[in-house]
Chain A
Amino acid sequence: MSFDLIVAGRSSGGRLLFTTITALCLTIMYAPVLYLLLASLNPDAQLGLVPPSRYSLTWYFALLEDRRLAGALEESALVGLATAALATPIGLSAALAYRAMTRMRGIFLLVVLSAMFVPGTIEGLGLSATLRLVGLTPSWVTITIGHLLWTLPFAAVVSLIGLSTVKQITIAAARDLGAGPMRAFIDITLPLMRANLISSFVLAFLLSLNEHARAYYLVGRQNTLPLYMFGAMNSGASPTIYAFSGAVIVICVAVVALVFAGLAEQPGEAREGRRARPG
């Protein structure tokens, strides 16, 4: 996609404008969070920035004392792990089905993606009423059910992208060498998709961890993190909420950056090339 031709000199006015707009986009996406992060290092109770020499993790240590936070963290971790553990294999299976389909492809993809665009409030409302009908009491199980619906489209797309890097010819070669379909899948397809499957798991976990609208309707007695945070944000913000927000953002960004780096490092072709070499 490198397109040096367009980088020609006479186009500089338009380029400058477009680059400026791109920078503006990145600024509104990152600057507020960055400011929050720096403000959370301020040891005073009053909000604002302090010189770097006075940076302190006071409010971060105060988080450790918060019992209700620990409960919410535990609940969110449980829901996130359960969601990711379900979404990853089901997403992979959906991606395999899509690749095997001929006529129904378009409709199937639309069904898979449609769940992305139903407002969380409405999905949560419908699910909570339905699950109540079935007799399921709200708990981490009901939240996991809601989050599975929310994360599955993303897991399926990540698996689809992974599958597309697996060359048909590699599998055909395995089949020629006598491997059954299952053998070829386990020995060839799965290892080639490893990075995508890990991404699928991690991204599903993060989407679940940060989900608020559905959890609001499906939650039992124990709050999840976003529900706890929303309450804290709207009740006279204490400095610990800045520290907590900062911690959540830093962890999420670090994890996604790692996942993306992992995906970028091993593009399908290179992986296949390396595997094809003997020894």
Chain B
Amino acid sequence: MVAEVEERVVPHEPGAHENVSARWRLATFFLALPSLVVFVGLGFIPLALVVTWSFWSFDPDTYWIKPAWSLASYAALLENGRATVFLRTAGLAALTATASTLLAVPAATVVCLLSRPRRAALLLALFTIPFFTSGLVRAFAWRLVLGRQGVVNNALMSLGVVQTPVEWLLFSDFAVVLGMVAAYLPFAIIPIVLVFGRIEYSVIRASQDLGAGFWTMFSTIVLPLVMPGIVASFLFVFIVAVGTSMEIQLLGGAGASSISIMINDVLRVVNFPLAFAIATVVVTLLIVLVIVANRALRLSRLFESLGV
């Protein structure tokens, strides 16, 4: 960035320009190097190894793996109801993402269109803060609210709505989805807020000058403009919800599983190749999803409204 200025200062001296831009590229490379080492060395290489090792076989002598190529792990993916766990995880994640997005669109609209700057900043802070607090505690707190003697059941019983505690509130898919929606709302709201930042507000003003009411303005102007944010918001929540395990472990019913829990279980019996195969399938699907969405929506542009 320093060099960028330099380039602007001396743009018309060809010799100097060449020299500067070579130095600039070198400086950029060295600035990018540490983060590339982290993301490639600690991110991509382990993932590539996981993919490779998923085609190896279990070695009973070392309780590890040996380089005997095999597709056995992928065949095992379809056994013992593992395919069902995949589908259930994806289903719960899709439900969570749908609910989060439906809540996030109005919430982001309130933040960006219907609030004065001070309140908008406060709301945005309130929506972001929980992300940096313990997800474990936030999931655990639902137990006190939804349990047999929790707030909800006590209220329902004292109001006479029900005679006995409602059982499906806790340790159920309902609790899991509610816990995940509450936990991942920041992921749903932020992308939409970022897209709002790129809207030309005079367009909205024009629609109002032309007599559009709230709903006409919202459905014909705002919704189409923030659509990339809405899709990103669904996608972000879906991806995070597919990967999580603690909401299901703390709030799910007996025997409830998810992909992450399945990986943990498979590792407990040291079936490394199978764990790697599950991970490979999940990561492949997520990468395809992100690439398709990025092609369609230029997701990386979302961050442009941050002014970066």
Contact = CB atoms under 8 A, between A and B. Distances in A.
A6 B294 contact: no
A56 to B, nearest CB: 18
A210 B136 contact: yes
A90 B35 contact: yes
B49 A28 contact: no
A164 interface: yes
Q: Which of A48, A115, A117 has the most CB of B within 10 A?
A: A117
A270 interface: no
B263 A122 contact: yes
Interface residues of B, number: 107
A17 B185 CA distance: 18
Contacts of A129: 46, 49-50, 53, 272, 276
B204 A6 contact: yes
B17 interface: no
Interface residues of A, number: 113
Contacts of A152: 35, 38-39
A276 interface: no
Interface in B117-142: 117, 120-121, 123, 125-130, 132-138, 140-142
Given A35-B144, A90-B35, A252 B260 contact: no
Given A48-B149, A122-B243, A248-B137, A114 B106 contact: no
Chain B interface main SS type: helix
Contacts of A89: 34
Interface in B236-276: 236, 239-240, 242-246, 249-250, 259-260, 263-264, 267, 272, 275-276
A185 B45 CA distance: 33
B151 interface: yes
Interface stretch (B72-80, B223-231, B278-286): B278-286
B296 interface: no
**Best-buried of B38, B151, B245, B250 by chain A (most CB within 10 Å):** B38
Nearest to A181: B2
Contacts of B143: 237
Contacts of B42: 127, 145-146, 148-149
B215 A14 contact: yes
A249 B134 contact: yes
Interface in A1-39: 1-8, 10-11, 13-15, 17-19, 21-22, 24-26, 28-33, 35-36, 39
Interface string B281-302: 0110010001000100000100
Given A3-B201, A14-B215, A126-B50, 11 more contacts: A19-B110, A98-B32, A121-B245, A121-B279, A122-B47, A122-B50, A125-B279, A203-B132, A253-B129, A257-B129, A264-B125
